[in-house]
A = this chain, B = another copy of it.
Amino acid sequence: ALIAVLPGDGIGPEVVEQGTRLLKAVAERFSHSFELVEAPMGGAAIDLTGSPLPPETLALCQRADAVLLGAVGGPKWDPPAKVRPEQGLLALRKELGLFANLRPVTPVPSLYDTSTLKPEVLRGVDLLVVRELTGGIYFGEKRREEDRAFDACVYTVDEVVRVVRAAAVLARARRKRLTSVDKANVLETSRLWRSVTERIVSEEFPDIELKHMLVDACAMHLIKRPADFDVIVTENMFGDILTDEAAMLSGSIGMLPSASLGANRRGLYEPIHGSAPDIAGRGVANPYGTLLSVAMLLRHSLGLEQEARAVEAAVASSLDAGVLTADLSAPSTRPAGTREVGGSV
């Protein structure tokens, strides 16, 4: 299998390094051969080539079975800069047709203490957000005039159909409950979203229990009764906000993996945290989100379920053994470094 490795910016290279170590360990242990090819992306690619997604990087990703990404962005390339790292990430998602972004949130009991939520609220939380990733206001027309700015939010029926299907299939393999999140009392795109979701689930997934929830109510319930959720499906911008919020159930955003999938098996895997320029290069970043992204890569793109479970089990034991980076550990204890976590897993 060919795996494209895009370290990106900030702490990206550090966490991705642990991801590739893990992939090599899995290859050896289970006698697979993974070809890992690195390429520049994001701010690093802007500095090197002027473009956040150079044609060679895109071509490599298109050829690959899976892409492992660190993180992109940093103050160096912030607006008003015209060329920005995020454009590379958005273009990559679009070019690869990765319309379904899976963000599972399953707080580990040994980390309950690191969350700002009470442990009794976290008990039983096992939710999966499926975020639409190539439509909505992210990709609609944008305009800037002297005294005004404009962003278009557009959704087609087909765009809604495919992501709702993906979410319903995932719900079927879980607790069979799907919550579709929109703002149908205000947005036309949300009313389309709601009616399409209603139709697809009732026609094709009669065994799935569907509920609609307004995005503001969902932002509340994620904190109030997170254990009530099974699979949440929502549009691009709402998914961006709600998944970062939900990440807090896990104590640290550094824990959370993600998979971005399209019509075929090829996928992009990345921790949901950002490039954290403030701690970059110090070897203290939390690589668990990347390691769990590797598990998702093995499962969804390579079809290696057993190997994925082995990685998840290794992460669980490492957490249980108390190998915790600074974002996870009590102020008085000695935190583990990025490589130490990688080694432990």
Contact = CB atoms under 8 A, between A and B. Distances in A.
Interface of A: 73, 78-80, 84, 86, 90, 116-118, 121, 137-138, 142-144, 147-158, 183-189, 191-195, 215-217, 219-220, 222-224, 237-238, 240-245, 247-248, 253, 274
Nearest to A143: B188
A248 B216 CA distance: 12
A238 B186 CA distance: 13
A229 to B, nearest CB: 14
Contact of A253 (B195, B215, B220, B253): B220
A221 B299 CA distance: 32
Main secondary structure of the interface of A (DSSP, over half): helix
Contacts of A241: 215-216, 219, 238, 241
Most buried by B among A78, A237, A247: A237
A90 B183 CA distance: 14
Contacts of A192: 144, 148-149
Contact of A186 (B90, B144, B149, B193): B90
A158 B146 CA distance: 12
- Total copies of this chain within the assembly: 2
A194 B79 CA distance: 9
B224 A116 contact: yes
A131 B194 CA distance: 26
A129 B216 CA distance: 15
Given A155-B149, A188-B143, A224-B116, A216 B240 contact: yes
Nearest to A274: B217
Given A80-B195, A116-B117, A137-B137, 13 more contacts: A73-B185, A78-B185, A86-B185, A86-B186, A149-B192, A149-B193, A153-B153, A183-B237, A217-B244, A219-B245, A220-B245, A222-B245, A245-B245
A83 to B, nearest CB: 12
17 contacts: A79-B184, A80-B191, A84-B185, A86-B186, A90-B186, A117-B118, A137-B137, A138-B186, A144-B188, A148-B155, A148-B156, A149-B155, A216-B240, A217-B244, A222-B245, A223-B248, A224-B248
